[in-house]
Amino acid sequence: MLLFIIIILIIHLFLKKNIENFDKNNIRFIHIGKTGGTYIRSVLKLKQYHLKNNYKLNNEIYIIWLRNPIKRFVSAFYFSYSNINFNIYKYNNISLNNCSNPFWVNKKKINNNYYLFNYRYDKLINFFKTPNFLAESLTSNNKYIKSLAYELMNNNIEHIYKGIGWYLWNGDFVKKHYNKIFFVGSQENMDNDIKYLADKLNIKINNTDKIRENTNNYDKYLSKTAIQNIYNFYKDTDYKALKALLDYKFITKELYDSYFSYKINI
């Protein structure tokens, strides 16, 4: 174990020393949903992989952005909920200034569709209504409600299912391609990380304004049962990927440990 840690430290120091040797034209942003990726891509003008994990690899190198998986789950749920229930007749111009997903909502409006994503997904989101109910239902004594919860959690539309682990192949991406990871940032350290990265990429940051409508008015409460269920659901995906990032020294132990707790005001 000690030898493994020493080897990883040597690799990490080598990569850090030679980071400027990367061809910046080959940088790709792995845009994990609900981590602040829309803002990052807008500010840094990065080519991205979003809702895709079939990376070309070859000459590509990667920037990754993280977020507490429990908070990301809450945000992912409300991202779908708010857009499914968005009043398409309220605004003449639907954009990031008033909507968190103008692409899908405009598509719904133009095509005069009743459902945003599809009948089943929209129905499941509106059945649960809150992330707490969805998360608690994963261990519900009601077999029907429990089955609906697992159906929604495993639906590959949007961001609930497609989390950190999905994008990083449950950690295998890190283990196999650590030498292609240029930088790993986090929403929790957004200001410092994005300034550091912009400096490394020699990019001047001009846009510091909010670029996406948020949903802070929604109920973000999670019970202890809900929090435990969310962790259990993502433990072999998101948390395995985070452990790999920790082992390869891309994130700190402090950040990693913080991802096991949930506080609404953070």
pLDDT in tens, 68-81: 999 999 999 999 99
- State residue 156 phi and psi, 5-degree precision: -85, 15
- State residue 129 phi and psi, 5-degree precision: 70, -35
What is the average pLDDT score of the chain?
88
- State residue 130 phi and psi, 5-degree precision: -130, 150
pLDDT in tens, 93-149: 888 888 888 877 887 777 777 788 889 999 999 999 999 999 999 999 999 999 999
Gap between the Cα atoms of 179 and 106, Å rounded = 40
> Measuring CA to CA, which residue among 32, 31, 38 is closest to residue 212?
38
Residue 137 located in a structural domain: yes
Residue 158 located in a structural domain: yes
**Of all residues in the chain, what percent carry a pLDDT higher than 70?**
86
Total of domains in the chain: 1
Query: What domain range is 56 assigned to?
Result: 20-258
Residue 9 located in a structural domain: no
- State residue 58 phi and psi, 5-degree precision: 35, -110
Task: Check residue 96 and give its pLDDT.
Answer: 84
Residue 4 located in a structural domain: no
pLDDT in tens, 189-216: 999 999 999 999 988 886 554 555 554 5
Residue 156 located in a structural domain: yes
Task: Check residue 98 and give its pLDDT.
Answer: 85
Which tokens in the block code for residue 194? 């994005």
State yes or no: pLDDT of 5 exceeds 80. Answer: no
Task: Check residue 217 and give its pLDDT.
Answer: 78
Task: Check residue 19 and give its pLDDT.
Answer: 46
Gap between the Cα atoms of 169 and 175, Å rounded = 10
Gap between the Cα atoms of 104 and 90, Å rounded = 16
Residue 91 located in a structural domain: yes
Q: Is 4 exposed, middle or buried (0-12, 13-18, 19+ CB in 10 A)?
A: exposed
Residues 6+ apart with CB under 8 A from 265: none
Task: Check residue 110 and give its pLDDT.
Answer: 72
Residue 92 located in a structural domain: yes
Neighbours of 9 (CB within 10 A): 12
What pTM did the predictor assign?
0.87
State yes or no: pLDDT of 4 exceeds 60. Answer: no
> Measuring CA to CA, which residue among 35, 261, 125 is closest to residue 117?
125
Residue 207 located in a structural domain: yes
